[in-house]
Amino acid sequence: MDIRQRFVDVFGGEPATVVRAPGRVNLIGEHTDYNDGYVLPIAIDRSVLVAAAPRDDRRVVLFALDFGESVEFSLDDIEHDQARTWSNYQRGVAYFLEERGIELPGLNAVVVGDVPIGSGLSSSAAVEVSMAYTWQVLAGFRLSRVELALLCQRAENEFVGMNCGIMDQFVSALGQRDHALLIDCRSLEYQPVPLPPPLAPPKPALSKVEGLGGTGGAAVVVADTMKRRGLLDSEYNTRRRECEEGVRILQRYLPQVQALRDVSVAQFEAQSSNLKVQKVRQRCRHVIHENERVLKGVAALRAGDLDTFGQLMNQSHVSLRDDYQVSCAELDIMVEAAWKVDGVYGSRMTGAGFGGCTVSLVAEGAIEDFRAQLAAAYEEATGIVPQIYVCRAEDGVSKL
């Protein structure tokens, strides 16, 4: 799609800029970000595009091609839109840029994306980051990529009302091509972690669930269950409260603990009996072990040990399914089908859960077989045809 031409069709003139911001897939480290922990996402080659031009007044006119709808609001009176809720992400970004003391120009904008909505690939963060960067390009104000990500997170937390962590906006703003991004969600320090290039498949697996063996390269493959996440908002916030309750209890025995990220696996095992409520104990166990899995996974990638990384992905899924209880039947079917395919190092659900996507690490020579076998197994079990994407790690937000 030529978004410049669509802008001309809608507004009758050329856009001043076109900005893209990517979605993301998290390789490992789920529900750790709001616990001050570690995550390892990649920005993917599926994005939200914004074509925009400034106006002479303080009006914002948005046309969303994906919805076939337009909306208009004033920068002097930014309120929620209950009818066109898709526009609240852009409204929230504008609200907090203005609150920061930045006087924004009005604008005309066309927005379109190929990040599936509700799939767990963070289309919302891509919308926020693309919009914030569009205003930065048009108005020329100074804002670092980290500051931009934090502002977009605040828009989603406080304006949209989704209490997400920083990961999604951060990697959409700061992702690097052919690298994952290790993010310390407390300090916001980050390190690019090179991904192995796609190479020939390694030797056949001895055990699919345990991994393949070998140190060959692999591709990241995302499979969309097509199940949208109806329970997400309430359950996500419930999980946060359960983690916070675990911290309050653990602080009685470990006074230095400020978040679950401060608790080692050994400390948790020693203190877990003090977490009397089973669900609280389970939530804490997942987060604490998941943080350790992220750090082990980074070491494995840097050593070219994809077998170990795949095992950690598999362990992560089991933990999300059993301890954090954010999987669902469709995700479990998809992951378990992936585990049975030759050429798969590891597979897990990705994103907040209750639907959306899985992510698998697949030897390049096995990709087509993987896609065919996974699609067939999933359709046979559910009657649903999945969408399967081979993803490349891409750069963060940019002006085209």
Q: Give the chain as a 3 state SS string.
A: CCHHHHHHHHHCCCCCEEEEEEEEEEEECCCCHHHCCEEEEEEEEEEEEEEEEECCCCEEEEEECCCCEEEEEECCECCCCCCCHHHHHHHHHHHHHHHCCCCCCCEEEEEEECCCCCCCCCHHHHHHHHHHHHHHHHHCCCCCHHHHHHHHHHHHHHHHCCCCCCHHHHHHHHCCCCEEEEEECCCCCEEEEECCCCCCCCCCCCECCCECCCCCCCEEEEEECCCCCCCHHHHHHHHHHHHHHHHHHHCCCCCCCCCHHHCCHHHHHHHHHHCCCHHHHHHHHHHHHHHHHHHHHHHHHHCCCHHHHHHHHHHHHHHHHHCCCCCCHHHHHHHHHHHCCCCEEEEEEECCCCCCEEEEEECHHHHHHHHHHHHHHHHHHHCCCCEEEEECECCCCEEC
CA distance 32 to 185: 8
Chain-centroid distance, C-alpha 193: 17
Q: What is the CA radius of gyration of the chain?
A: 21
Order of strands, sheet of 387-391, starting from the edge strand that comes earlier in the sequence: 344-350, 357-362, 219-224, 387-391
pLDDT at 202: 37
Indicate the range of 83-92, 195-204, 333-342, 350-359 predicted with least confidence. Answer: 195-204
Percent of the chain predicted with pLDDT > 90: 85
What is residue 317's predicted lDDT score, i.e. its pLDDT? 98
Catalytic residue (one of 33, 168, 262, 305): 168
Q: Give the pairing of strands 17-28 and 107-113.
A: unpaired
pLDDT at residue 280 is higher than 70: yes
- pLDDT tens digits, 292-325: 999 999 999 999 999 999 999 999 999 999 999 9
| Contact of 49 with 23, CB cutoff 8 Å | no
Closest CA to 40 of 137, 170, 208: 170
pLDDT score, position 397:
98
d(CA 89, CA 98): 14
36 is an active site residue: no
The predicted structure's pLDDT at residue 162: 80
At 217 the pLDDT is 64
- CA 260 to the chain's CA centroid: 20
Q: 32-85: per-residue pLDDT in tens? A: 999 999 999 999 999 999 999 999 999 999 999 999 999 999 999 999 999 999
Q: What is the mean pLDDT of residues 89-97?
A: 98
Q: Give the predicted TM-score (pTM) of the model.
A: 0.90
Kindly list the domain boundaries of the chain, sorted by start residue. Answer: 3-188
- pLDDT band for position 127 (cuts 50, 70, 90): very high
**396: pLDDT confidence band, cut at 50, 70 and 90?**
very high
Predicted confidence band at 374 (pLDDT cuts at 50, 70, 90)?
A: very high
Model confidence at 218, in pLDDT bands (50, 70, 90)? confident
Whether residue 335 has pLDDT greater than 80: yes
If one looks up domain 3-188 in CATH, what number appears? 3.30.230.10
pLDDT digits (tens, 9 = 90+) for 170-193: 999 999 999 999 999 999 999 999
